[in-house]
Amino acid sequence: MGYVAVKGGTDAIHNSHELVEFYRLRDAVTPIDIKQIRSQLRLAVDKVMGEGGLYAPDYAAIALKQAEGEVFEAAFIIRAFRTTLQRRFYSETINTRELFIKRKISASFREIPGGQILGPTRDYTQRILDTGKVEETAEDIKKFLEVFESKIDREKLQSVKTYTKVIDLLREEGLLKPIDKNEDRRLVDITREAIKFPAPRSARLQMMARAETGGLMAMGYSSMRGFGSVHPTVGELRYGHLPVRIKDPSGRIRYAGKIEITEAEMVSSVSAAKKNAVPKFTIGYGLCFGQNDTKVICMGILDSTMRSPDTGSPANDQEFVLYHTEGIEAMGFTNHLKLPHYVDFQSALSNIRGAIERNEQLKEGQKAEEVTFMQP
């Protein structure tokens, strides 16, 4: 059964959009400033950029305001916005070893180069609702910042450093599984080329970088719980900002700004495939815009699972993982169910009514035969 379009309803749709604005504004409270969203809803902005596939903090903040804080909707708006822009440049390959470290932890090693830096995290909080936030004033913010700033001695500042990665140490010791030379290493752009399965790793990483965090988490969690076999350890998780360089039209490579990213290397051990061969570690890789630990951890898990195809485990099935973690597609498809399906449904209704009618006629026919049979 094909789709049948509907028409009309323009006024009601327009009024509905107006009503959305009414419900957003009817309390007539102070409008939220975009800077406030960028600053105080930082992690939501990061999610919108990551899932929208466009690094643009101000625009992500606008989308969040427009969508009344609905991250799916905001990411959808950003995806739509990016289609209106021309892609003029490709950056030079970013180097995560240049990261200005804001957070750097390892669950595999206690002592790592430069030490464990917790950075901004709520990992060790009890998630107790802070009702004091209700009373927060500009004066409180100013006071907090003054006290915070006074906690370091500006006369004795340490110099900024970059640090060796944990995986570099594992590699130096020869503990990592060698690169599979038969793996498809083509660089594919899934925004320009429809994905085909099996997809090269570049396509899988790109799709996961803009996948929905909750979707990735569900898939990664399923593997850890036993519907798969990957239960890794965080080799290293880093968050910070790094430079983006672009070749200008004269051919010179120019510094163009910095982006915030989170990166994870997830370590799993693999037993040797051949007898007498030594076991090695494999690394699953996760990288995304902004600060999002959950996303990169799960991306790392799924990077590992998808390298061991197994249609029996959802997390090891590329098509299952990639299609079902694509938040905008999933949201679009789910929400299309609300659109008029009158003709579809009428057809189903008429089929079911017909079947019931035929069934009743059959029953009546059988009853009539039984009555005839019972008459002497």
Partner 1 sequence: MENQDYIICECQLEALEAFVSSIEPVFEIKIVRAPSICMTMVQAEDAVEYQPFYLGEALTTECELIVNGQKGYGICLGDEPLRCYCMAFIDAITQLKDIDLSKTYQFLNEQARLIEEAKKIEYNHIQRTKVDFKLMEQD
Q: Please give the residues from 37 up to 66 whose contact with partner 1 meets the rule CB under 8 A.
A: 49-50, 53-59
The token pair that represents 138 in the structure block: 């500009």
Q: Which is nearer to partner 1, 303 or 317 (CB)?
A: 303
**Which residue in the block uniquely carries the two structure tokens 């969203």?**
37
- What is the smallest separation between the CB atom of 345 and partner 1, expressed in angstroms? 39
Is 298 among the residues that bind partner 1 (CB under 8 A)?
A: no
Cα of first residue to Cα of last residue in the chain, in angstroms, is 51
Is 299 among the residues that bind partner 1 (CB under 8 A)?
A: no
315-339 burial code (b ≥16 CB/10 A, e <16): bbbbebbbbbbbbbebbeeeeeeee
Cβ contact 320:306 at 8 Å: no
Is 199 among the residues that bind partner 1 (CB under 8 A)?
A: no
User: Considering only CA atoms, which of 209, 208, 269 is closest in space to residue 235?
Assistant: 269
Output the DSSP codes for 194-228: ---SSPPHHHHHHHHHTS-HHHHHHHHHHHHHTSS
Residues 339-358 within binding reach of partner 1 (CB under 8 A): none
Stretch that binds partner 1, among 34-42, 64-72, 97-105, 324-332 (CB under 8 A): 97-105
Q: Which is nearer to partner 1, 14 or 185 (CB)?
A: 185
Q: Which is nearer to partner 1, 100 or 345 (CB)?
A: 100
- What is the smallest separation between the CB atom of 254 and partner 1, expressed in angstroms? 5
Q: Which is nearer to partner 1, 88 or 133 (CB)?
A: 88
User: Considering only CA atoms, which of 91, 37, 70, 42 is closest in space to residue 262?
Assistant: 42
CA 207, CA 302: separation in Å to the nearest integer? 12
Bridge-partner residues for 269, per DSSP?
Answer: 281
CA 121, CA 131: separation in Å to the nearest integer? 20
Q: Which is nearer to partner 1, 261 or 322 (CB)?
A: 261
Instruction: Please give the single-letter amino acid code of residue 94.
Output: I
Residues 116-175 within binding reach of partner 1 (CB under 8 A): 116-120, 148-149, 151-152, 154, 157-160, 165, 167, 171
Residues 7-36 within binding reach of partner 1 (CB under 8 A): none
Residues 172-191 within binding reach of partner 1 (CB under 8 A): 176, 179, 185, 187, 189-191
Cβ contact 175:278 at 8 Å: no
Q: Which is nearer to partner 1, 91 or 334 (CB)?
A: 91
Longest alpha-carbon distance in the chain: 117
CA 353, CA 144: separation in Å to the nearest integer? 69
Residues 227-286 within binding reach of partner 1 (CB under 8 A): 243-244, 246, 248-250, 252, 254-259, 261, 263, 265, 283, 285
Stretch that binds partner 1, among 199-207, 319-327, 334-342, 360-368 (CB under 8 A): 199-207
Q: Which of 9, 31, 69, 115 binds partner 1 (CB under 8 A)?
A: 115
Is 307 among the residues that bind partner 1 (CB under 8 A)?
A: no
* Number of residues engaging partner 1 in binding (CB under 8 A): 81
Is 216 among the residues that bind partner 1 (CB under 8 A)?
A: no
Stretch that binds partner 1, among 65-73, 130-138, 195-203, 322-330 (CB under 8 A): 195-203
- Residue 114 three-state SS: coil
